[in-house]
Chain A
Amino acid sequence: MSRRPEPRFGTTGLPQEQQRALRRATRLEVVTLLYMLTCVAAVFAVMGSSQAMKAAWIEDMLALIPPLAFLVAVRRARKAPTVDHPYGYHRTVAIGHLTAAVALLAMGLFLVEDSATGLVRQEHPPIGTVQLFGTTLWSGWLMIAVMVYTGIGPFILGRLKLPLSETLHDKVLYADADMQKADWRTALGTIVGVLGIGIGWWWADSAAALFIAASILRDGWSNLRYASGALMDQRARTYDDAAPHPLTHRVDEALTALPWVTASRSRVRDQGHVFHVEAFVQVDPDEPVILERLEEAVALLDALDWKLHDIVVMPVRALPDAVPAPTDPEGEKA
């Protein structure tokens, strides 16, 4: 870690802003990893026989997966294309995203199962006392203290990562921010649950967990859907997968504006951080197709956005039927 290679994705040079964001994100993920390790240790120390705390412990372990996936993906994605990997290594991001999504989904499923069975079987969670420095203390207080600790970190870290995931167009980072949101919410839910148990509401813990689990499950599912979508070469979407990425539209717009082009239709797929563009341009029959013009078109797209990376411009007589026309060209707002 002492040698600092210039941050980049494959052969794509990064603008200053992205370079800074990448360094910062890497630092944040290392911090997250170390912090979550202390959480795993702290929860393990106080969990006793409490089911709720055992669930929190498993979640903390799962929360280690997305930061690891990010660090691995960013390292791999830096490699330049090779003979065997002519598209480069950008797709590691998609694999990282899939991994993080599965971790998030697993956490949601586990939490739903755990809390639902608790409610159905009407389990009354026992929380006894601990001896700490010679005094006897209700374990609930200790659990709450630990949950405050394990909650604060993700609350802050997740908020710091979210804007970086947009700057870098990094979906692993985005999924990780989702995971951290799930983490601090679960911690808060456990606190409410333990306090509920404290005042004699045996169902409070499971009910709070079930409520939170539903939102975690939804996040996990949508991440999984879009991570698999990206691996299936789905049309590129925004960093949060909320909408189709506006760059596809802007590529066609920029190409159509060229005097020798009458229409353009492009396929833009998300390689992970960067996009792969295949643009079919219908050439005005009166205009000659010359090399300089094609090079100019590629340079035009290259300058449009740092994410447009692997660009192919193909002159055609008529737009290919194989590429469907976008039905919502104006609705592609990020």
Chain B
Amino acid sequence: MRLLARLAAVLLILLVGGCALSVPSDPDGTLDRVRDDGVLRAGASVSPGWVDVSADGRRPVGREPDLVMRFAESLGAEVEWTLGGEEHLVGLLEKGDLDLVVGGLTDQNAWVDKAALTRPFAEERVAGTTEKHVMMVPMGENAWQSELERWLDENAGGR
């Protein structure tokens, strides 16, 4: 049982140490960079009802782009948009050239092993099944993902 006590001690030290180092954090520092540079690099793929394109064809508009812009605002940042297809955007996300992707994505989408999905921020019943809408962020940028999920909990108007 002495070993158990030692184990508990090690854990406690780790926990206290963990808190001091701010948990969770980003291996690639996304959250800090967005705050410091004031730029959120977002990708958008058109999906009627969730992501549409402005009349001049240059800017995404609609429910999800609005959320992204308000989230950026909360961090004191501007959104730099990239419009494109899902595959292209996921590629940029993997390379670290984008911080966030929207496009009417649900938690059933096929990119789970290339991008991290946020917790669902909206649910919609479509043809008898419930579609849970999510955004995509880079894998393992956990402070960034947690910040976004926290914000969505409070601002996306109920899940």
Q: Are B153 and A136 in contact (CB under 8 A)?
A: yes
Query: Which residues of B does A touch, CB under 8 Å?
Result: 4, 7, 11, 14-15, 18, 21-27, 112, 116-119, 137-143, 145-146, 149-150, 153
Chain B residues, Cβ within 8 Å of A198: 18, 21, 23-25, 142
Chain A residues, Cβ within 8 Å of B14: 191-192, 195
Given contact pairs A126-B139, A192-B14, A199 touches B23 in the complex (Cβ within 8 A): yes
Given contact pairs A136-B150, A191-B11, A128 touches B27 in the complex (Cβ within 8 A): no
- The digit string for A169-211, where 1 denotes a CB below 8 A from any CB of B, is 0000000000000000000100110010111111000000000
Q: Which of A124, A131, A197 contacts B153 (CB 8 A)?
A: A131
**A123 to B, closest residue via Cβ:** B139
Q: Are B139 and A124 in contact (CB under 8 A)?
A: yes
Q: Is A153 an interface residue, CB under 8 A from the partner?
A: no
| Most chain B CB within a 10 A radius of its CB, from A124, A130, A188, A191 | A124
**A51 to B, closest residue via Cβ:** B113
A48, chain B: closest CB distance, angstroms: 9
Given contact pairs A126-B145, A127-B142, A200 touches B150 in the complex (Cβ within 8 A): no
Q: Are B149 and A128 in contact (CB under 8 A)?
A: yes
Given contact pairs A129-B119, A130-B119, A202 touches B23 in the complex (Cβ within 8 A): no
Chain A residues, Cβ within 8 Å of B149: 128-129, 136
B158, chain A: closest CB distance, angstroms: 11
10 A-B pairs with least C-beta separation? A124-B140, A126-B116, A198-B23, A200-B25, A124-B139, A129-B149, A202-B27, A199-B21, A128-B145, A200-B27
**B19 to A, closest residue via Cβ:** A198
- The digit string for A111-127, where 1 denotes a CB below 8 A from any CB of B, is 00000000000011111
Q: Are A126 and B142 in contact (CB under 8 A)?
A: yes
**A135 to B, closest residue via Cβ:** B153
Q: Are B150 and A129 in contact (CB under 8 A)?
A: yes
B66, chain A: closest CB distance, angstroms: 21
Q: Is A87 an interface residue, CB under 8 A from the partner?
A: no
B145, chain A: closest CB distance, angstroms: 5
Q: Are A128 and B142 in contact (CB under 8 A)?
A: yes
Name 24 interchain pairs, CB-CB below 8 A, sorted by A: A123-B139, A124-B27, A124-B141, A126-B137, A126-B140, A126-B145, A127-B24, A128-B118, A128-B145, A128-B146, A129-B149, A129-B153, A131-B153, A136-B150, A191-B14, A192-B14, A195-B14, A195-B15, A195-B23, A197-B24, A198-B142, A199-B21, A199-B22, A200-B143
